[in-house]
Amino acid sequence: MKMDFFIRRVLFFLGVLALFAGHAIADEAPSQPPIECKPGQTMNCILLGIEAEKAKDMDTALVYYRQACQSHPMGLRACTPLLSLSQQMGILDREAEFLEEKCATEGEVTCYYLGKEYLKIRQTRRAIRHLEPLCRNGFKPPAKRDYGPCFHLARSFHSAKDYERARTFYQLDCGDDIERVHPSCESLRNINLVFALTPERTTPPPSLPEFNLYEVAFLAVCAVPLIGVAVWFFGRPGGLWYLQWGGPLFFAAGALGWGFFLNQNPLQANDAIILFFCFFTLVGLSLAARRA
Q: What is the largest CA-CA distance in the chain?
A: 112
Q: How far apart are CA 83 and CA 78, in angstroms?
A: 10
Examine residue 7 and state whether it is found in any structural domain, yes or no: no
Residues 164 and 220 reside in one and the same domain: no
Give me the pLDDT at residue 5, please: 47
Examine residue 14 and state whether it is found in any structural domain, yes or no: no
Give the total residue count for the chain.
292
Final residue of a structural domain among 207, 228, 259: 207
The span from the first CA to the last CA of the chain, in angstroms, equals 112
Residues 75 and 129 reside in one and the same domain: no
Helix 183-197 with 149-159: angle, nearest 10 deg: 30
Give me the pLDDT at residue 224, please: 66
Which residues form the domain of 173?
Answer: 120-207
Per-residue pLDDT of the chain (292 residues; tens, 9 = 90+): 444 544 555 444 545 445 444 544 444 444 556 778 887 788 888 999 999 999 999 999 999 999 988 887 666 888 999 999 999 998 999 999 999 999 999 989 999 999 999 999 999 999 999 999 999 999 999 888 888 999 999 999 998 888 899 999 999 988 888 888 888 888 888 888 877 777 655 555 555 455 455 566 666 666 666 676 666 666 655 666 666 666 666 666 666 665 655 544 445 556 666 666 666 666 666 666 666 6
Give me the pLDDT at residue 190, please: 87
Examine residue 78 and state whether it is found in any structural domain, yes or no: yes
Give me the pLDDT at residue 112, please: 93
Quick one: 280 exposed, middle or buried, by C-beta within 10 A (0-12, 13-18, 19+)?
exposed
Final residue of a structural domain among 207, 235, 267: 207
Residues 138 and 165 reside in one and the same domain: yes
DSSP secondary structure letters along 248-285: HHHHHHHHHHHHHHTT--SPPHHHHHHHHHHHHHHHHH
**Helices and strands in the chain, H and E counts:** 15, 0
Give me the pLDDT at residue 153, please: 94
Examine residue 12 and state whether it is found in any structural domain, yes or no: no
Q: What is the CATH number of the domain that holds 63?
A: 1.25.40
Report the domain count for the chain: 3
Long-range contact list for 72-79, CB < 8 A, 24+ apart? 72/42, 73/40, 75/109, 75/110, 75/113, 76/102, 76/110, 76/113, 76/114, 76/116, 76/117, 77/113, 78/42, 78/46, 79/117
